[in-house]
Amino acid sequence: MSKKHLGVAAALDFGKTTAKHQVTAILNLGCPDSRQWYLANQQVLLQAVQAGQIQLEIKFWNKPVADLANGNEANKFVDYTEPQAALKFIAAVYAQQADLNAAIDVNKFVTTKFKVDRVVTQEVLTQIDQAITAEGITSLPTIIFDGAHFSGDRLVPITQLLA
């Protein structure tokens, strides 16, 4: 079992617990800033995992903001038990984020477009919310690199953090 930065089992876990760096990415599938940061850093993150440099956790936060309502619903379809399939789902959703955010019936859009079922329980969502509150996270995306929080104006590419 990997080290949990936020004390919640609901995370996509990649890499070894013995990696030099611990990284947690707090994202939302409907958040344009989450999309931009993830897509810009995805390749480097996964290469660093493969190279044993980092252990990566990705968590999806249902932030109670009206503009993120569709993303909050889509987050419930991320299958934390199947990390590789989840990565494909995340990439597919981010590629169609504008359509997701414009969808009237998000559940129908996601199940039809991506052929997935809702898998995240309310218990897991509550655990994530409690952990995010305990960590003092208020914005998306937030990256936790070796215990230091990066968000908003402090958000930087993962290459800068690994340097």
Please report whether residue 6 resides in a domain: no
Task: Tally the domains of the chain.
Answer: 1
Work out the number of other CB atoms within 10 angstroms of the CB of residue 129. 15
Give the CATH number for residue 55: 3.40.30.10
Residue 43 counted as domain residue: yes
Taking only the tens place, the pLDDT of each residue in 106-131 is 999 999 999 999 888 888 888 888 88
107 assigned to some structural domain? yes
> What is the spatial distance between Cα 100 and Cα 81, in angstroms, rounded to a whole number?
23
pLDDT tens-digit series, residues 51-110 = 999 999 999 999 999 999 999 999 999 988 889 999 999 999 999 999 999 999 999 999
Q: How many Å apart are CA 59 and CA 120, to the nearest integer?
A: 12
Q: Tell whether 69 is covered by a domain.
A: yes
| Domain around 108 | 12-149
Instruction: Say if 1 falls within a structural domain.
Output: no
Radius of gyration of the chain (CA): 15
Residue 4, domain member (yes or no): no
